[in-house]
Copies of this chain bind each other. A is one copy, B any other.
C-alpha cells in the first residue's frame, strides 16, 4: 500500500484484509506516519465501521524513501506526491495499481475499468519502466459510475451526447474533507476539477487503442457536479442520446447482458456489474451502494428524455467501486492474465 491512512487507503486495507489472492505486507505513508504502527499512524482518522484488520494494525509504516518488497503496490497517494513516487516505484520494478489522478491522462498509462476496457492494458508495453515495472490507473469515482452505465450502450448502439448531474458523497473528499457547516442540510454545487475529470476520463476509457495510442471517444459530455450530505455512494442523473433509435427493452438487455468478466473467476468482480432495478424510486445511495460488496453499479428509472432521447439514474459506491475496489479488480485482472 502507498498512502494507506486516508479515506481511500483505509478502504484498500479493509478490502484486502479478506482478499484471497493479495495481502497487505507493507504500508507506506508520509514522513509523519513513518516508523509508527499503522494503528498509531491512522489514529482517530480511521472512519470505517469495521475495525482496523489485525495483521495491518501492528505493521510498522514505512516512509516515502524506503525500499518496498511487494510485487503489486496499490496507491491511494495524495495527488501532491503520487506523480513522482509512483513512477519511482515503477522504475524499481513494482507494479502500481493507482487510484491517484496524476497519471490517468498520461498517454502510455492505461486508465482502466476492468469490465470496460481491459484491452487498454496493452499500453503497458509502451511504458518506460523496465520489464517488471508498470502503472495502471482507475478513473475518478464519478467517472467510473458514469462509464459503467454508458459502456454497454456505447458498445451496442453508440453514444452521441451525454448530460450528467452528480450527487456525490462526502467520503469522496477524504478526511477532514468537507466541513459540516458546508453540507449539513445543504448541497454544494461545485467540486474543484471534477467536471473536467469526468469529461476527459470518460472519453479516454471509451476510446479505442490503436497503434498510436488511445483515440478518445468524441461525443460531447457535460457534467454538473454537486456534493450532498451522504456518506458513501455517488448517484448520477443521466440523459443520453444514442447512435440509433432503440426500444427500452434493448437498453435493459444491454445492461443485463454486460458481464464481460464472468468466466474469469476474479474475486472482486460483481456477478452483475450493472443491475437495473424496476422500482420508481431506485437506486438510492443508502439502499444500493453496498450491492455486491460495493462493487455493483445500480441503474434505474429508465425513461424517455424529451431532449436527448433517454434518461436514467446510476449509482455506485465511490470508495469501493469508484476507488479501492476498482484498483484491486484491475490488479486481479492483471494477475489472472499473467501480467504480474
Contacts and interface: CB of A to CB of B under 8 A. Distances in A.
A140 interface: no
Contacts of A282: 189
Q: How many copies, total?
A: 4
Interface stretch (A96-104, A180-188, A206-214): A180-188
Contact of A181 (B177, B237, B281): B177
A170 to B, nearest CB: 4
A183 B185 contact: no
Most buried by B among A170, A180, A231: A180
A178 interface: yes
Contacts of A220: 306-307
A216 interface: no
Interface stretch (A75-83, A116-124, A221-229): A221-229
B187 A284 contact: yes
A281 B124 CA distance: 39
A324 interface: no
A307 B161 contact: yes
A17 to B, nearest CB: 15
A307 B163 CA distance: 7
Contacts of A313: 189, 224
A335 interface: no
B279 A44 contact: yes
Interface stretch (A107-115, A245-253, A285-293): A285-293
B186 A285 contact: yes
Interface string A120-134: 000000000000000
A181 to B, nearest CB: 5
B228 A167 contact: yes
B307 A181 contact: no
A106 B273 CA distance: 47
A237 B226 contact: yes
A230 interface: yes
Contacts of A167: 167, 187, 226, 228
A170 B300 CA distance: 22
A55 interface: no
A296 to B, nearest CB: 11
